Amino acid sequence: MTTVKDSVILWSYDASPFTQKALGMFAIKRLPFCWVETPMMPPKDDLLALTGGYRGTPVLQVGAEVFIDSQLIARELERIQPSPTLFPLGGGLELALVRWSDAFFRSALKIVLSIGLAQWPKEFRDDRQYLFPDIDFESVGGEAAHSRSQFRAHAALLDAQLDDGRQFLSGAAPGLADVQAYPFVWMARGAFADVASELLSGFPSLAAWETRMQALWVVERQSITAASALAEADAARTVTPASIDATDAQRLRAGQLVDITPDDTRRGVMRGTIHVVAADRVVIRPSAERARGRLVHVPRLGYRVTPVA
Ligand SMILES: N[C@@H](CCC(=O)N[C@@H](CS)C(=O)NCC(=O)O)C(=O)O
């Protein structure tokens, strides 16, 4: 049986390319973990009981502390087990790639929608339209050629980066740059295989890298129930000390009540009181009854923190 380090628990479902990012991080670190499989759409009562309002995937739980978004999952896994590193380029640059990564994702998602939307069950379609307010599901099919051009242009960047014969995007060893890119090639192969073959054709360096990435993406995980993960969160103590950046751009204060929401998709509102304010994250104590006693870490990049009057 796997020995799982410090009860590291990933809450996610495998069909999500963002979950694949988290799996890639665990694979690079060869770190075993526990896993709670979540539904793809609401109701997600157990996940909300963990996060106090966030319904997205992936989420990492370490004891009574909760890490929202693949950005903070990368930072936390690096803290838990520094070697092998996810950040061969230093960290900042690889984390900055998150916005590029989102653009690559959107090009793939729009191709999926233009091909397969009609086959989606209505409930799932309505949920995803709610989730992505910036994409008009009615008209996205009319933009199919443009979306394909965007996907191919992103893929061409990967091929160009690998063209000097390097094994991985940042050099000889795999790192977070690979994790920011590969899940969308994986998504394309799974969701629109024929179109993907065409859009990825003529990129030999990318093809060789894809084979290496497939071989790398192997994880050792132990499935556990949401109830046992929540029991563990309830029983554990939080460890992150309070700290406030006095030069914070929003001048957030200790104990202040805030709402935090992703600024791109509607993955939920986290309400709570401020425990940590830093340039890379805000940590709150959730107000939701079932999530009391936890600390929820939320990235600053891509999340809006709104003081509640
Ligand atoms: N920036 C986030 C994005 C996560 C994200 O958008 N995940 C999608 C799944 S692909 C999601 O949460 N969808 C809503 C849901 O699963 O309920 C991250 O990197 O973790």
Distance from the alpha carbon of residue 200 to the mean position of ligand 1, in angstroms:
25
Cα separation of the two ends of the chain: 50
Are the CB atoms for 112 and 188 separated by under 8 Å? no
How far is residue 196's CA from residue 152's CA, in Å, rounded to a whole number?
9
What pLDDT score does 4 carry? 53
Asked if residues 240 and 275 have their Cβ atoms less than 8 Å apart, the reply is yes
pLDDT value at 108 more than 50: yes
How many degrees, rounded to 5, is the angle at CA 260 between CA 254 and CA 265? 165
**Closest-lying ligand 1 atom to the alpha carbon of residue 299:** 1
Angle at 296 between CA 22 and CA 285, to 5 degrees: 175
Q: Is any atom of ligand 1 closer than 6 Å to the C-beta of 70?
A: yes
pLDDT of residue 2: 44
Segment 239-244 mean pLDDT? 98
Confidence class for position 261, pLDDT limits 50, 70, 90: very high
265-295 pLDDT per residue, tens: 999 999 999 999 999 999 999 999 999 999 9
Q: What is the DSSP letter of 40?
A: S
Mutation to probe ligand 1, out of 21, 66, 265, 267 (largest number of atoms < 8 A from CB):
267
Residues 6+ apart with CB under 8 A from 146: none
Ligand 1: residue whose CA is nearest its atom 10: 16
Distance from the alpha carbon of residue 294 to the mean position of ligand 1, in angstroms: 21
- CB of 265 within 6 A of ligand 1: the answer is yes
Pocket test for ligand 1, best of 13, 14, 18, 66 (most atoms within 8 A of CB): 18
In this structure, what token pair is assigned to residue 10? Answer: 């990933």
Element housing 61 (H / E) = strand 59-62
Instruction: Tell me the sheet residues that pair with 34.
Output: 9, 222
User: How many CA atoms does the CB half-sphere of 23 hold within 13 Å?
Assistant: 26
The mean pLDDT value for 82-101 works out to: 98
Instruction: Calculate the CA dihedral of residues 215, 149, 195, 94 and round it to 10 degrees.
Output: 20
- pLDDT tens for residues 149-175? 999 999 999 999 999 999 999 999 999
Which contiguous run of DSSP H or E holds residue 306?
strand 303-307
pLDDT at 48 over 60: yes
Is residue 95 helix, strand or coil? helix
Say if CB 60 and CB 18 are below 8 A apart.
no
Range 46-61 average pLDDT: 98
Which fold does the domain 92-216 belong to in CATH? Glutathione S-transferase Yfyf (Class Pi); Chain A, domain 2 (1.20.1050)
> What pLDDT score was predicted for residue 67?
98
Which burial class, exposed, middle or buried, applies to 303 when counting CB atoms under 10 A from its CB (0-12, 13-18, 19+)? buried
Token pair of 146, please?
Answer: 């443009």
Question: 3-state class of 265 per DSSP?
Answer: coil
CB neighbours of 44 closer than 8 A, spacing ≥ 6?
38, 55
The token pair that represents 15 in the structure block? 């069909």
Q: Which of 13, 16, 298 is the pocket-test mutation for ligand 1 (most atoms within 8 Å of CB)?
A: 16
Look at domain 5-84+222-307 and name its CATH class: alpha beta
Shortest-distance Cα residue to atom 14 of ligand 1? 56
Delimit the domains of the chain by residue range. Answer: 5-84+222-307, 92-216
pLDDT in tens, 192-232: 999 999 999 999 999 999 999 999 999 999 999 999 999 99
Q: What is the pLDDT of residue 211?
A: 98
pLDDT higher than threshold 50 for residue 96: yes
* Mean pLDDT over each residue of the chain, to the nearest integer: 97
- Residues with Cβ within 8 Å of 153's Cβ and at least 6 positions away in sequence, in order, are none
Predicted pLDDT of residue 7: 86
Residue 6: per-residue pLDDT: 56
Choose among 39, 40, 53, 103: nearest CA to 308: 53
Query: Where would I find the H helices in the chain?
Result: 17-29, 45-51, 69-80, 92-116, 122-131, 144-162, 176-191, 193-199, 204-216, 226-235
Rounded distance, CA 297 to CA 303, Å?
11
Residue with CA at minimum distance from ligand 1 atom 18: 69
Is the beta carbon of 57 within 6 A of some atom in ligand 1? Answer: yes
Instruction: Kindly report, residue by residue over 128-138, the tens digit of the pLDDT.
Output: 999 999 999 99
Which atom of ligand 1 approaches the CA of 68 most closely?
Answer: 20
Q: Answer yes or no: is the C-beta of 238 below 6 A from any ligand 1 atom.
A: no
**Main-chain dihedrals φ then ψ at residue 87, nearest 5 degrees:** -120, 60
